[in-house]
Amino acid sequence: MKHSSALIFGYNEYGIEIAKNVSHKYKDIIIYSLNDVEESAENDFGFKIEKFDLSDRWDEIEARSDLESSMIFCALGSEANNIFLTLSLRSAFKDVTIISLANNKEDANKLQMAGASKVIPIVETTANIITDMLKKPIVTRVLHNILYENSALKIKQIEIQNEAFFSDRFPGDIEWSREYGVIVLSVIHEDMSGEFIYSAKAKHHTIKNGDIFVTVGYEEDLKEFEKLLGGRK
Amino acid sequence: MKTLNRLVIDAAYFLNSSVWYQKKRRFFSNLLENDDYKYKRYFDIFMILLIFSSVSILIYEVKKDVHDYLNIFNSYIISFIFFVEYILRLWIYSSISKVIINQDEYSDLLGKNFSLSFVIQRVIKDKLKYILSIKAIIDLLAILPFFHELRLLRIFILFRMFKLFRYAKNFHTFASILTTKKFEFFALAMFAIIVIFVSSVLIYVMETNDPNTKIKTLYDAFYWSIVTISTVGYGDVVAVSSEGRFVAIIVIISGISVLAFTTSLFVSAFTEEIEDIKEDKSIQDVSKLDRLYIICGYENIAKELAKKLTYAKFNIVVLDENLERINNAKKDGLLALNYNPGSVDSYKKLNVKMNTQVNAILCLREDDVQNVYTALTIRSLNKDVYIMSILMNHSNRVKMLNSGVNEVLYDKEFVGLVAREYVGQPVAFEVIHALRSDDSVINIEEIAITERVLQNFAFVSELDNIKYRVVLLGIQKKSKNRFFFNPIDETLLEVGDYLLVIGNYMFIKEFTKYLLTKVRDRK
């Protein structure tokens, strides 16, 4: 039976951190190493380690994983190897999501040309996070805790299935925090365009089924709120 | 005598421990001598203006009558200001009270009697040292026009121009650069003097008896030599005999050499010192900055971060012991110094107050050993300054925290978190990113609760944020060091708390203004 997997190429600190952070979503995580590894090896965190080489033999992966719902991370130590791997994977699998790491902008462009769905520029990402920490330390800490679930606060996308709840009311008119203990940040419409809850557009936009609320709150309150709006996302 | 000694000693101790007196003394000392003192620049400009106005009046006066007010201003007021400045400089040059206290302690230690005469001698010696310095003599000559009835003394107004040396720091720099080539300039001057002397005597001997010559005296010969060796060559006095012309050829060749050497000496002196001058300038610039961020090490992450911080108008200075990296930082338009971030001396030379001027120090070498070393160096100097450091290898995290780093930044962890975004709730992450982005009109901001805000608002319920279409996400309580999401109306506001608000940046601006506007102003 094919699994929905996270396939991480690169048995290094980047690979392990990625594995740790996607483990809540993927049960089947395999870290591929270019070096020799013992058969059915596991690292300290319990992730499976397998050897691979840069030849175009991907039959084994294709056989075990449902690539449409899987995600591939290219996190090899060498930039050239990473680009080569991305190119090789893309030519083998047209629709799989490939996320590759790049050290700089030049490599990011090459990786995109090679077919990466998303590129994580390491230096830029680090610099962005440090800048945020220096510019707005409290905001960064709070948002970080919310986003990465380090606190009881959660952020949730809630799909509206009970549009009757909004009859004659606009989301900006309702005091969400007082009435339901949650804060609605924005509304994402069916066409995926987003509006901040108090923006002029959102104030005149009638909520329809299928719209998504991006909401912050404590887990229990969010569950109650979700029930109220009849959605699940 | 003993009573007098006692009185003098008591007075000295009183002055030495008087906060008011020491504060005044420090103020004048900074104003007159400390280039880093912010008000010195204004004082210098004021004095330069006085000098120029004084000389302008002197020039105007040569052919025209000036108003009496101007004469009084020039002769009395300016002279009086210069006199006060002279006395203040004399006062701050050396401390009389310290001499008395030292002598008292010395006498006490050796069981001798306090010697007032020794103190007087010592004080006179110290003060004379100042009075006889070139700068002090110029200052004194600049005051002399006060006795303007003596017409001769009016010319001393010109001495006021020499005072400019005191107020323009560039002159000091210029003089100090030239002093580095003192020996070479001296050798060249000796050569020129010998050539001038020999050629003057030679031309005098060879030409003076020629009926067609204009060189009649040794003074004429000296004048000719100077005009020729300087390659000016007016042509009013020329050599007419063949022997004289031969001497002229030698002097002209020597003159060209002297001129060429002098020029090259100036150029080489400035070229050699230019880096030091630039460094001095950079240090001066840094010492004037507030809310400073010191970046230690200029590699990939530092480069990217510096770009972003510069864009956000942060005051940053880069330190790196590697010249190539520092040159890169300079090319990127940053204030950069080729100092080793792991050396205590670097921070001393930087001349910044860590507690008040520095917001954070960022250890950004892509090498854990270097960052730990830098962090320890900084901690040995200051216990409180905020240190952030990047971590390259996870196994070094504890060592880094033990070295005194407040915040460890692990790039692999950041990459992991970004990966989590892609597999998690991408829409929610995008909303948060949009809130943090500088380009977005909807922002998330921190608003500090200050004394001023508290004058008007005591509880969360009074904030009226909904009226301003601003979402109050929560409040960071300083006293509990905790974030309270969606705080209840009865939450008490305290100084040091932060409100986290989300909204259109214009509305947030208006809301902040509203919080800071006094109730009585609003009414």
Instruction: Answer yes or no: are the C-beta atoms of B174 and B192 closer than 8 Å.
Output: no
Average pLDDT over residues B121-140: 89
Separation of CA B512 from chain center: 36
Angle at A200 between CA A195 and CA A203, to 5 degrees: 80
> CA-nearest residue of chain B to A71?
B423
Contacts of B226 (CB under 8 A, 6+ apart): B196
Chain B environment of A146 (Cβ under 8 Å): 432
Q: Which residue has the tokens 């504060």?
A: B23
Q: Which residue of A has its CA nearest to B482?
A: A142
Average pLDDT over residues B42-55: 87
Q: Which amino acid is at B80?
A: F
- Which residues from chain A sit within 8 angstroms of residue B390, using beta carbons? 126
Which residues in chain B are closer than 8 Å to A212, comparing Cβ atoms?
427
**Per CATH, is A153-229 categorized as 3.40.1190.20?**
no
Q: How far is A123 from chain B (nearest CA, A)?
A: 5
Per the listing, tokens 């004379």 go with B128
Contact A13 B312 (CB under 8 A): no
Residues of B in contact with A226 (CB under 8 A): none
pLDDT reading at B22 higher than 80: yes
* SS3 of residue B16 by DSSP: helix
**What are A182-191's pLDDT values in tens digits?**
888 888 876 6
Answer whether B422 sits within 8 Å of A71, measured CB to CB: yes
Say whether B470 and A198 touch across the interface (CB within 8 A): yes
CB < 8 Å to B485, chain A: 153, 183, 216-218
Pairing mode, strands B407-410 and A5-9:
unpaired
A166 at interface of B, judged by CB pairs closer than 8 A: no
Question: In this prediction, what percent of chain B has a pLDDT beyond 70?
Answer: 94
Contacts of B510 (CB under 8 A, 6+ apart): B468
* Identity at B306, one-letter amino acid code: A
State the average pLDDT over residues B292-306.
94
Distance CA B154, CA B145 (A): 5
For chain A, how long is the longest CA-to-CA vector? 65
Q: Which residues pair with B482 in a beta bridge?
A: B477
Q: B-chain residues within 8 Å CB-CB of A182? A: 486
CA distance B438 to B304: 16
The C-alpha atoms of residue B119 and residue B102 are separated, in whole angstroms, by 9
Q: Do A126 and B483 touch (CB under 8 A)?
A: no
Q: Which of residues 448-477 of B touch A (CB under 8 A)?
A: 466, 469-474, 476
pLDDT in tens, B329-373: 999 999 999 999 999 999 988 888 888 899 999 999 999 999 999
Domain boundaries, chain A: 5-121, 153-229
CB contact under 8 A, B425 and A71: no
Domains identified in chain B and CATH numbers: 2-167 (no CATH), 182-273 (1.10.287.70), 291-414 (3.40.50.720), 427-522 (3.30.70.1450)
Closest CA to B497 of B460, B442, B470: B460
Per residue in A56-66, pLDDT (tens digit) is 677 777 777 77
Interchain contact A134–B (C-beta under 8 A): yes
Q: Are B430 and A194 in contact (CB < 8 Å)?
A: yes
Q: Does residue B150 surpass a pLDDT of 70?
A: no
3-state secondary structure of B178: helix
> CA neighbours within 13 Å on the CB side: how many for B417?
20
Q: What is the pLDDT of residue B90?
A: 92
Residue A6 to residue B473, Cβ atoms within 8 A: no
Give the tens place of pLDDT for each residue, A123-145: 988 998 899 889 888 888 888 88
pLDDT averaged over every residue in chain B: 86
| Cβ A214 vs Cβ A147: under 8 Å | no
Token pair, residue B284, equals 């001066």
Whole-angstrom distance, CA of residue B407 vs CA of residue B389: 6
d(CA A101, CA A78): 10
pLDDT at A167 over 80: no
Determine, for residues A139 and B471 on separate chains, whether the beta-carbon distance falls below 8 Å: no
pLDDT of residue B442: 78
Q: What is the enclosing helix (H) or strand (E) of B63?
A: helix B40-63
Mark which residues 13-72 of B lie under 8 Å from A by CB: none
pLDDT band at A101 (very low <50, low <70, confident <90, very high): very high
- Neighbouring residues of A176: CB distance < 8 A, sequence distance ≥ 6: A182, A183, A184, A215
* Separation between Cα atoms, residue B498 and residue B500, nearest integer Å: 6
Nearest to B503 among A124, A126, A198 (CB): A198
SS3 string of chain A?
CCECEEEEECCCHHHHHHHHHHCCCCCEEEEEECCCCCCCEECCCCCEEEECCCCCCCHHHHHHECCCCCEEEECCCCHHHHHHHHHHHHHHCCCCEEEEEECCHHHHHHHHHHCCCEEEEHHHHHHHHHHHHHHCHHHHHHHHHHHCCCCCEEEEEEECCCHHHHCCCCHHHCCHHHHHCCEEEEEECCCCCEEECCCHHHHCCCCCCCCEEEEEEEHHHHHHHHHHHCCCC
Instruction: Give the pair of three-digit tokens for residue A97.
Output: 């999501």
Name every residue whose Cβ is closer than 8 Å to that of residue B440 and which is 6 or more positions away in sequence. B434
**Yes or no: domain A5-121 corresponds to CATH 3.40.50.720:** yes
Name B460's Cβ contacts closer than 8 Å, sequence gap at least 6.
B472, B475, B487, B488, B489, B490, B491, B493
ipTM, 2 dp = 0.81
For B428, which of A20, A127, A156 is closest by C-beta distance? A156
- In angstroms, the Cα distances linking B140 to B31, B82, B145, B157, B233 are 19, 8, 10, 11, 39
By C-alpha distance, which of A139, A156, A171, A157 is closest to A217?
A156
Report the pLDDT value the prediction gives residue B523, as an integer from 0 to 100. 44
Give the Å distances, CA to CA, from B518 to B195, B448, B457, B472, B510. 82, 16, 10, 21, 14
Cβ-contact A6, A26 below 8 angstroms: yes
Q: Smallest Cβ distance to A123: which of B304, B435, B442?
A: B304
Q: What's the CA gap between B392 and B369, in Å, rounded? A: 10
Locate the chain B residue with the closest alpha carbon to A122.
Answer: B415
The pLDDT assigned to A42 comes to 67
Select from A104, A141, A188 the Cβ nearest to the Cβ of B427: A188
Question: Does the pLDDT value for residue A201 go beyond 80?
Answer: no
**For B412, which of A17, A73, A127 is closest by C-beta distance?**
A17
B376-388 confidence digits (pLDDT tens): 999 999 999 999 9
How many residue pairs from chains A and B have C-beta atoms closer than 8 A?
177
Interface contact flag, A216 B418, Cβ < 8 Å: no
- Stated pTM of the model: 0.67
Which among A20, A122, A134 has CB closest to B360? A134
Both tokens assigned to B28: 């004048």
> Given pLDDT bands bounded at 50, 70 and 90, which one contains residue B322?
very high
Q: Going by C-beta distance under 8 Å and a sequence separation of 6 or more, which residues neighbour residue B121?
A: none
**Among the ranges given (A55-64, A73-82, B203-212, B483-492), the one the predictor scored with the smallest mean pLDDT:** A55-64
Distance (Å) of CA B453 to CA A96, A139, B516, B519 = 54, 20, 5, 10
* A214 close contact with B: CB closer than 8 A: yes
Q: Looking at the partner chain, which of A18, A146, A185 has a beta carbon nearest the beta carbon of B415?
A: A18
A224 interfacial to chain B (CB closer than 8 Å): no
Closest chain B residue to A194, measured at CA: B431
Q: Which of B416, B427, B432 lies nearest to residue A17, judging by beta carbons?
A: B416
The Cα A134–Cα B315 span in angstroms is 12
A213: tokens are: 């609320």
CA distance A122 to chain B (A): 7
**Single-letter amino acid, residue B166:** R
List beta partners, residue A5.
Answer: A28
Q: Facing residues of B485 across strands?
A: B474
pLDDT digits (tens, 9 = 90+) for B163-212: 777 777 677 777 888 888 889 999 999 999 999 999 999 999 988 888 88
Edge to edge, the sheet with strand B498-504 lists: B442-448, B498-504, B471-477, B482-485
Interface contact A174, partner B, CB < 8 A: no
CA distance B105 to A182: 73
What is the distance between the alpha carbons of residues B140 and B166, in angstroms, rounded to a whole number? 13
Q: B370-375 contacts: CB < 8 A, separation 24 or more? A: B370/B297, B370/B341, B370/B342, B371/B296, B371/B297, B371/B400, B371/B405, B372/B396, B372/B399, B372/B400, B372/B403, B373/B342, B374/B296, B374/B297, B374/B341, B374/B342, B375/B400, B375/B403, B375/B404, B375/B405
Read off the pLDDT of each residue in A41-69 and give the average, rounded to a whole number. 76
Is the Cβ–Cβ distance between B406 and B387 less than 8 Å?
yes
> Residues 108-147, chain B: which have Cβ within 8 Å of A?
none
